[in-house]
């Protein structure tokens, strides 16, 4: 080895030590990459350095760090020729001189504009797998020596190890933080059954934890099975109302249960609305399914405002969080459904109670143990008790129409025979005038198993109706009596008239005092009969009186003759 | 002396009225059938008709209506064994002068007849 070679090796060693020292001092992969691209050009005497990392999701290289080249150059679609890329993927370095002349790919114009003339492309390996590429660029035409390539390769390996180590370190750090955050968010979402609070907690907390721009939750509507925006944070109304995303291919994958990470959202074909994404300043998206057990109930989308390759730990955290959230959401939905059902039941109960209370009937519901489980307002008002005094009491203890002999109790009968029955009941009060009549209908409610669940008793006070019937009957009797009396009077009056007149004619012809007295006696009695028939024609009422034994006679009441 | 038509479905009643009023010097024609009474009125002047309300086929009110058509100046006394406000009102409207309830006293009958004829 000549002195020049020795000097060169010594320089390499120094550079190697310097790079190793630098990259060992930081634990953030981004810092590692930034440091490498910043320091390497000077150490390697090149104009620019770039690091790109392999995005396994899209099988493409995404920019990790760069120094010495413009953003326009970095934004070109093709990194290098297919030949170079194939070599890199095989883990082999390439070095090319005069790339501005021999360039055969579609990013030629970018290369010439940037003035890049030589490029060394090195695979960044970790455990024999390509995890990225390191490129060293010069603006002068330079042929890289084998030694330079070999040295750069060993540097790239070091970079690969450093990036992976720092990634692992960061992953571990993140995982510890994620666990803590997961516990905190889980505690929050499980401490409430309010769906809105749960959703808002997730969309507010996740951006803080993962350093995101915003977050959205879309839930599948159970009826339509369409995704509907349920909660969002960090995003403008204009963006949120950009239109339906149901046709985005990324969503199909998410709805099948797989998370989807999109590095370059404004250009990635798996999402739509690229202009809106650009305007909103969104760079990367992570979409994960929201699951409740094995069922997918929605999609959680995490959006960043800086390009970001989501780590496995971040993705796992998001997936776990979405699952945790999914369970809480489903619990809240179930609670909401139960609350809704409960309210509906309450409304129905109130509706039924209102109907029952509006009835003029007294209504009681009795269970198979003959305890009263429900009564309506009319019953309570009639018996003068409060509901709490009645409910749970034995039927026979609270009803005014109770039968002393419970064997005859109609509730027992309805329970035993499982048949409806109707009873006409008479209840004598303390006062004669307080007598009441009741019409009682008892209906057993028979379950599908054939058992009587309840007996409903509807009691109608028919006293007024009964009194009316009695009055009507009295009136009909009176009408019969009046007609009968009138007819009898009419039939009697003509012969009576003949008898009275004849007697009076005879009297005119008599001379004997004794005979006149006799005929006057006859006339007097005929007139008594005449008074009676006259009274019969003016009957307004009658009074039944006992005659002999079971026989009754009537005493006629007449209006006074005018 | 007046020409008096007596119509009652009870034969004994018409015989009695005939006896009472004949003694008072009136010319009495008695009938128990409505059509006979109406037929008689078609060809004979009648000063007073004494009609029972309840007859065999027609009512005394209906007979009175027909007799009044034949002899508008004829006076009438209605008799009834079963007085009602409706029958009394109708009889008065048809021109009956008196409405008497059976059994009418002999003296009362004589007075009513005299009174009606005197009007």
Integer Cα distance of A24 and A8 in angstroms:
24
B12 touches chain A (CB under 8 A): yes
**Confidence band, pLDDT 50/70/90 cuts, at residue A561:** very low
Highest-pLDDT range among A55-69, A115-129, B18-32: B18-32
The shortest CB-CB distance from B54 to any of A490, A504, A537 is to A490
Percent of chain A with pLDDT over 90: 31
**Whether A410 contacts A387, CB under 8 Å:** no
Q: From B78, B81, B70, B85, select the one nearest B113 (Cα to Cα).
A: B78
Which of B30, B56, B106, B112 has the most A C-beta neighbours within 10 Å, making it the best mutation to test the interface with A?
B106
Integer Cα distance of A403 and A346 in angstroms:
35
CB atoms within 10 A of CB A553: 11
pLDDT score for A188: 81
Distance from CA of A552 to the nearest CA of B (A): 26
A537 touches chain B (CB under 8 A): yes
pLDDT digits 0-9 by tens, A244-275? 887 888 888 888 889 999 988 999 999 999 99
Q: At what angle do helices B11-23 and B106-118 cross, to 10 degrees?
A: 60
A/B interface, count of CB pairs below 8 Å:
73
Which of B14, B16, B103 has the most A C-beta neighbours within 10 Å, making it the best mutation to test the interface with A?
B103
pLDDT score for A371: 95
CB pair distance less than 8 Å for A490 and B19 = no
Mean predicted confidence (pLDDT) in B9-19: 91
pLDDT score for A560: 57
pLDDT digits 0-9 by tens, A384-427? 889 999 999 999 888 887 655 556 788 888 999 999 999 888 77
pLDDT score for A59: 80
pLDDT score for B90: 83
| Coil, helix or strand at residue A302 | strand
Percent of chain A with pLDDT over 70: 93
Mean predicted confidence (pLDDT) in A308-333: 86
Does A2 score more than 70 pLDDT? yes
* Residue of A257 and A167 predicted with greater confidence: A257
Integer Cα distance of A227 and A218 in angstroms:
6
Integer Cα distance of A536 and A486 in angstroms:
6
pLDDT score for A370: 92
Mean predicted confidence (pLDDT) in A198-227: 90
Does A329 score more than 80 pLDDT? yes
Catalogue all structural domains in chain B, each as residue range(s) with its CATH number.
3-118 (3.40.50.2300)
- To which H or E segment does residue A341 belong? helix A312-358
How does the average pLDDT of chain A come out, rounded? 85
Chain B residues in contact with A490 (beta carbon < 8 A):
54, 80-82
pLDDT score for A406: 58
pLDDT digits 0-9 by tens, A419-453? 999 988 877 766 666 778 888 999 999 999 999 99
pLDDT score for B109: 92
pLDDT score for A562: 40
pLDDT score for A359: 85
pLDDT score for A286: 95
The shortest CB-CB distance from B20 to any of A495, A499, A505 is to A505
**How far, in Å, are A343, A519, B18, B54, B81 from residue B93 at the CA level?**
78, 39, 27, 18, 20
CB pair distance less than 8 Å for A491 and B16 = no
Integer Cα distance of A218 and B112 in angstroms:
113
CB pair distance less than 8 Å for A500 and B106 = yes
B21 touches chain A (CB under 8 A): no
Highest-pLDDT range among A57-71, A231-245, A481-495: A231-245
pLDDT score for A1: 64
Does A542 score more than 80 pLDDT? no
The residues near B102 (Cβ < 8 Å, ≥ 6 apart) are A493, A494, A496, A497, B13, B79, B80, B81
**Confidence band, pLDDT 50/70/90 cuts, at residue A481:** confident
**How far, in Å, are A139, A274, A478, B9, B81 from residue A488 at the CA level?**
148, 113, 15, 16, 9
Q: Which range is least confidently modeled, A153-167, A351-365, A407-421?
A: A153-167
Does B75 score more than 90 pLDDT? yes
């Amino acid at each position: 080895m000549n002195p020049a070679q020795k000097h060169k090796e010594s320089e390499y060693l120094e550079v190697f030590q310097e790079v190793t020292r630098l990259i060992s001092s930081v634990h953030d992969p981004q810092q590692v990459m930034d440091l490498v691209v910043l320091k390497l050009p000077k150490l390697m005497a090149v104009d620019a350095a770039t690091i790109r990392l392999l995005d396994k999701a899209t099988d493409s290289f995404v920019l990790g760090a760069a120094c010495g080249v413009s953003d326009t150059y970095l934004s070109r679609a093709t990194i290098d020729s297919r030949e170079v890329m194939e070599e890199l993927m095989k883990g082999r370095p390439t070095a090319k001189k005069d790339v501005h002349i021999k360039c055969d790919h579609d990013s030629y114009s970018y290369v010439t504009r940037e003035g890049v003339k030589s490029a060394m492309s090195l695979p960044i390996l970790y455990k024999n797998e390509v995890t990225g590429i390191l490129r060293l660029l010069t603006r002068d035409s330079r042929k890289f020596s084998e030694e330079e390539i070999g040295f750069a390769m060993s540097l790239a390996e070091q970079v690969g190890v450093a990036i992976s180590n720092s990634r692992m370190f960061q992953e571990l750090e993140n995982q510890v933080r994620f666990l803590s955050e997961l516990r905190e968010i889980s505690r929050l979402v499980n401490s409430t059954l309010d769906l809105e609070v749960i959703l808002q907690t997730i969309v507010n907390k996740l951006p803080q934890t993962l350093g995101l721009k915003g977050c959205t939750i879309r839930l599948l509507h159970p009826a339509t099975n369409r995704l509907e925006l349920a909660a969002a944070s960090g995003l403008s109304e204009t963006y949120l109302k950009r239109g339906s995303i149901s046709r985005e291919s990324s969503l199909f994958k998410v709805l099948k249960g797989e998370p989807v990470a999109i590095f370059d959202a404004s250009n990635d074909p798996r999402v739509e609305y690229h202009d809106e994404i650009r305007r909103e300043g969104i760079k990367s998206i992570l979409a994960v399914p929201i699951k409740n057990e094995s069922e997918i109930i929605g999609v959680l989308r995490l959006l960043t405002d800086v390009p970001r390759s989501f780590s496995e730990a971040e993705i796992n955290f998001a997936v776990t969080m979405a699952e945790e959230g999914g369970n809480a959401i489903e619990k809240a939905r179930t609670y909401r459904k139960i609350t809704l059902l409960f309210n509906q039941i309450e409304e129905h109960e109130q509706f039924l109670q209102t109907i029952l209370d509006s009835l003029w009937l007294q209504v009681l519901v009795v269970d198979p143990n003959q305890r009263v489980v429900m009564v309506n307002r009319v019953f309570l008002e009639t018996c003068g008790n409060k509901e709490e005094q009645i409910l749970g009491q034995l039927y026979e203890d609270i009803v005014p129409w109770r039968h002393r002999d419970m064997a005859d109790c109609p509730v027992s009968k309805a329970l035993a025979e499982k048949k409806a029955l109707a009873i006409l009941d008479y209840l004598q009060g303390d006062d004669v005038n307080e007598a009441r009549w009741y019409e009682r209908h008892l209906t057993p409610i028979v379950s599908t198993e054939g058992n009587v669940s309840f007996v409903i008793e509807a009691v109608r006070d028919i006293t007024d109706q009964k009194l009316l019937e009695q009055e009507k009957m009295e009136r009909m009797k009176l009408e019969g009596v009046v007609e009968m009396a009138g007819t009898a009077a009419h039939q009697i009056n003509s012969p009576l008239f003949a008898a009275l007149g004849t007697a009076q004619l005879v009297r005119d012809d008599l001379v004997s005092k004794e005979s006149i007295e006799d005929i006057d006696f006859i006339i007097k009695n005929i007139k008594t009969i005449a008074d009676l028939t006259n009274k019969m024609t003016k009957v307004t009422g009658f009074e039944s009186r006992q005659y002999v034994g079971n026989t009754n006679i009537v005493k006629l009441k007449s209006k006074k003759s005018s | 002396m007046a020409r008096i038509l007596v119509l009652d479905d009870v034969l004994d009643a018409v015989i009695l009225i005939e006896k009472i009023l004949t003694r008072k010097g009136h010319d009495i024609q008695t009938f128990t059938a409505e059509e006979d009474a109406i037929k008689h009125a078609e060809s004979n002047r009648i000063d007073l008709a004494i009609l029972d309300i309840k007859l065999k086929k027609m009512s005394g009110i209906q007979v009175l209506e027909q007799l009044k058509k034949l002899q508008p100046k004829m006076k009438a006394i209605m008799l009834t064994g079963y007085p009602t406000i409706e029958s009394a009102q109708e009889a008065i409207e048809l021109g009956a002068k008196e409405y008497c309830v059976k059994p009418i006293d002999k003296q009362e009958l004589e007075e009513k007849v005299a009174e009606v004829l005197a009007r």
